Amino acid sequence: MAITAIGNERLNELQVKEFQDVVKFLPSVTIQTLAPGFSQVYFRGVASGENANHSASLPTVGTYLDEMPITTIQGALDIHAYDFARVEALAGPQGTLYGASSMAGTIKLVTNPPDTSGTYGSVGLELNTVKSGDVGGVAEGFINAALSDRAALRLVGWYRHDGGYIDNIAGSRTYPSSGITQNNAALVEKNYNDVDTYGARLALGIDLDDDWTIKPTLMGQVQKADGSFAQERSSAVTRKLQTVQYNPESSKDKWFQAALTIEGKIGSWDLTATGGHMRRKTTVESDYSDYAYFYDALYGYGAYFTDNNGDLVSPNQYIQGIDRYKRSFAELRIASPADARIRFIGGVFWQRQAHNIEQNYIIDNIGDAITVPGTDSDIWLTKQLRIDRDYAAFGEISFDITDQLTLTGGGRVYKFDNSLVGFFGYSDGFSGSTGVAGCFAGPVVAGSPCTNLDKSTSDTDFIHKLNLTYKISDNALVYATWSRGFRPGGINRRGTLPPYGPDTLDNYEIGWKTNFGPLRFNGAIYQEDWNDIQLSFLGANGLTEIRSAGIARIRGFEVDIGYRAGGFSLNLGGSYNDAEIRRDFCAIANPQFDCTIDPPGQTNDLLAPAGSRLPVTPKFKGNAVARYEWPVGDVDAHVQFAVNHTGQRRSDLRTFENAIVGNFKAYTTADVSIGVKGESWSGELFATNLFDSRGVINSAVQCGESICGDPFGGSTTGGVFYDNVIRPRLIGIKVSKDF
């Protein structure tokens, strides 16, 4: 299979501190982020522009921390990258061994295990400053303690402060219906999007005897972020790295994980039993005043918001959200001897993820009649419990037809059972249909006034993998793979829409891996057919809808070239993906209708014609890293230069919305570092994004693009967009000491 692995030393050389940093050096991987802890990852162009809403589709890429899946609907955990053995990027469907949500690929974060060889450790310090922003820094360290010749303990800790670089500038707006003027004077601040991240990992390794090992691990992290991580694109802002926010914005992401892995032998067979539990809590404050302003300006909604005396109040809205996750998993697998001509690996898998969702949409001082019951001043409340369950049995058999030719076949039988229950909407004093007025039962989820949503969906199916590998020599092989990945279906919370089914990805790939002396040359050519695409977007009233967008086809290739001679090394990586839908995408995606036929009482608009490019990922992405090391007296010196390029991307699959938001322009970044390393210490001066590129990786509006993005007909200057840009130029110095 196509694997990119970046080891511990190289992660440090590339200035990798967080998930977004490592993605730069994975040519087949693209990231879309709103803020720290809120990122979606994509492989090989398999992206439909999901908005990562709490009731929407699971990610297409699975993320693992050692043996434990840590993918949540909110995206990958933003783990500080320190004391990792390596980061693995496994491209293509990994469904037979990794299961649900590894449809397009898997990212595996592998930590350094406890080592019984001795007691040692390291500490590191970094000081940095971001252009147009504040000062930041990192303090991190670990100690590995050999408790005996059969037991060791490893303790790792870190603290990181990222300086802000977005300014919240002064602004005001007047709501047309009431004439009430709002300003943000109390929130004006330079560089207000700073982040503090701290955490620790404790791992124990015990060799019970020569055959059995037990490895318990505890790990946790807290990440506090203030402000917005997007520059505003509107008539109110004329400079980059600025925004006008009228309500406090912040997030706190707190999680911990406990895992246990037992490895041993039963006869000559290897057995691995692993399990774990993770809890995550995110607390978020978000500005939502654009939604309030544009709905008032266009439709006069501000006239509906009054206090108990019937007087108009400011329709300004803000969101306070709390998301609580609980995830448990268990896996048991066995493997036959690796030196046998016929080899088998197989096992069973179970996981359960519960997501307790609370989203308070608040308008201060509204009357009791239009306040959602049980809240202080909510105009809208989402209070739901989502549970995703997965069960599977999997296996692969490899047969050496000759010493050079190996055939591998694998499969996975899976079942998912997902549900969503609770409340969403207004009070019955504000709406006669959505919210309390639509309730059919009392409260099931604690904190909700009643229940207007109770749905579930399940399915059982089988996916496969077939691989043929030919070893030309000890230094070269070629392979061909036919594999399938899947993503479970789920619930549409809008009552008029049915649950959405699973989507699948079929991969046809040929590749090669070679290593001739100083030269490494790996590559792959592939076609991926994506069927029953789960496309999520904001529908009527700003509610997320998931529809089937039919089918898509991705044709592409990726290469990895490395050269090392003496103290010089050069690594080149790149990917090309031609990703497009193969069938017209209609507003009502139903096999019995096409876009030219309107169902009774409904309009079936053409949202995107066949041949439209899939959004978010570029056709071309590539990087190059050159490094030279040489001795200077008793120390080793180095200089390194890295360049990364990300091509133009479509922002939305839908034609109309993409025209409003616009395409994301291509951008290129460069990193440079110079340093020295002694026997037990090192020092380095570095700069990332040296030429201060302003590459955009995501763009968002607070409500539907036609409302908040283009409210006055054809001119985007009337709307407000929030463009998430890469971090500006960062210059820093870091030192480390081993002991």
- The whole-number average pLDDT for the span 564-590 is 89
* Residue 595 pLDDT exceeds 80: no
Cα maximum dimension of the chain: 86
Yes or no: say if 40 and 31 are a contact pair by the CB < 8 Å rule: yes
Please state whether 299 falls in left (phi above 0), alpha (psi between -120 and 50) or beta.
alpha
Q: What's the pLDDT score for residue 570?
A: 97
How many C-alpha atoms does 22 have within 13 Å on its Cβ side? 26
* Residue 24 pLDDT exceeds 80: yes
Please state whether 476 falls in left (phi above 0), alpha (psi between -120 and 50) or beta.
beta
Confidence of residue 716 (pLDDT cuts 50, 70, 90): very low
Confidence of residue 569 (pLDDT cuts 50, 70, 90): very high
Q: What's the pLDDT score for residue 608?
A: 87
Structure pTM?
Answer: 0.92
Measured distance between the N- and C-terminal CA atoms of the chain, rounded to whole angstroms: 39
Q: What's the pLDDT score for residue 709?
A: 83
* Residue 660 pLDDT exceeds 80: yes
> What are 431-476's pLDDT values in tens digits?
998 899 999 999 999 999 999 999 999 999 999 999 999 999 999 9
Q: How far apart are CA 350 and CA 296, in angstroms?
A: 48
> Which amino acid does the sequence have at 390?
D
Token pair 């730069």: residue: 24
Confidence of residue 78 (pLDDT cuts 50, 70, 90): confident
Q: What's the pLDDT score for residue 495?
A: 64
379's tokens:
């105009």
> What are 309-362's pLDDT values in tens digits?
999 999 999 999 999 999 999 999 999 999 999 999 999 999 999 999 999 999
> Which amino acid does the sequence have at 155?
L
Q: What's the pLDDT score for residue 493?
A: 76
> What are 259-301's pLDDT values in tens digits?
999 999 999 999 999 999 999 999 999 999 999 999 999 999 9
Q: What's the pLDDT score for residue 539?
A: 66
* Residues recorded for the chain: 739
Q: What percent of the chain has pLDDT over 90?
A: 72
Q: What's the pLDDT score for residue 538?
A: 66
Q: Which domains does the chain have, with CATH numbers?
A: 3-738 (2.40.170.20)
Angle at the Cα of 220 from the Cα atoms of 214 and 225, rounded to 5 degrees: 160
Q: What's the pLDDT score for residue 489?
A: 85
**Residue 708 DSSP SS3:** helix
Q: What's the pLDDT score for residue 591?
A: 52
Yes or no: say if 70 and 23 are a contact pair by the CB < 8 Å rule: no
* Residue 600 pLDDT exceeds 80: no
Q: What's the pLDDT score for residue 95?
A: 64
Of 139, 148, 80, 77, nearest to 111 (Cα)?
80
Yes or no: say if 237 and 249 are a contact pair by the CB < 8 Å rule: no
253's tokens:
């992401």
Q: How far apart are CA 331 and CA 3, in angstroms?
A: 23
> What are 132-188's pLDDT values in tens digits?
999 999 999 999 999 999 999 999 999 999 999 999 999 999 999 999 999 999 999
Q: What percent of the chain has pLDDT over 70?
A: 95
Q: What is the DSSP letter of 363?
A: -
Strands 105-111 and 61-65: parallel
Question: Cβ atoms within 10 A of the Cβ of 340, count?
Answer: 12
> What are 48-61's pLDDT values in tens digits?
766 556 777 888 88
**Which of 159-163, 385-389, 490-494, 572-576 shows the lowest mean pLDDT across its residues?**
490-494
